[in-house]
Amino acid sequence: MDAMHVVIGAVFFVIVIVIGICASEKKVTVQFKNPETGNILYSGKGNSVASALLDGFDKMYRNLSTNSREETLENRLATMKQAVEDNRHYLKKRDVEVCKEYIQKVQSLLTQKEQERRVRQENTAIQRSQQCERTKALTERQRYIAEQRRMLSASMRYDVLRRDKFRCVLCGATAKDGVQLHVDHIRPLSKGGKTEMSNLRTLCDRCNLGKGAKIE
């Protein structure tokens, strides 16, 4: 029974390698022990040190709680590189090759995750830019509407009512019919209409409310 030590993330483990021979078959067990209590936290099995290490690492990381998948992969990659470099005397040439293949696989996953992260960042930047443009356009339209409304003075209102003979241009109702007369924009301000005599008319409250923002 041999033992080696490795730091995984911020956790210090004692890795015990147990090599047992049964008939003509060699079995390798890698135990990840708590150095303080001696309790076995994880264990991996295989026909070689490398395969047992990989089995143990897979079990460890399936149960490891991390903030993100990318962080898990980075920890796994760093752990495998450290284990291979510091414990080459435990590994045969083929074992080292297996570990390197595993490291390359994890590195490919990390590269893929990094590319996906960059795409997400780019998409987020585009969405934020589009949202800023929409907000800017909305603000400009609101500013335009407020400015046009301020232009509709009391004297201009009176001029429109007098021109239309104080009568709703749609139904002909007057104040004597119990309605309120409004000065309405024919082309709504929200659709680019302007506050000028040619775009103003007299409507009763019922016709004006029924019109909404439609252009007639």
Q: Name the region of 152 (left: φ>0; alpha: ψ -120 to 50; beta: rest).
A: beta
Here the tokens at position 156 are 């201009």
Q: Are 79 and 112 in contact (CB under 8 A)?
A: no
pLDDT at 90: 63
pLDDT score of 64 more than 80 = no
Q: How many CB atoms lie within 10 A of CB 15?
A: 23
pLDDT at 44: 80
Size of the chain in residues: 216
Question: How does pLDDT run across 119-162, given as a tens digit for each residue?
Answer: 888 888 888 888 888 777 778 888 888 889 999 999 999 999 99
Distance CA(149)–CA(214), nearest Å, equals 18
Q: Looking at beta carbons, which pairs linking 123-126 to residues 24 or more positions away fall under 8 Å?
A: none
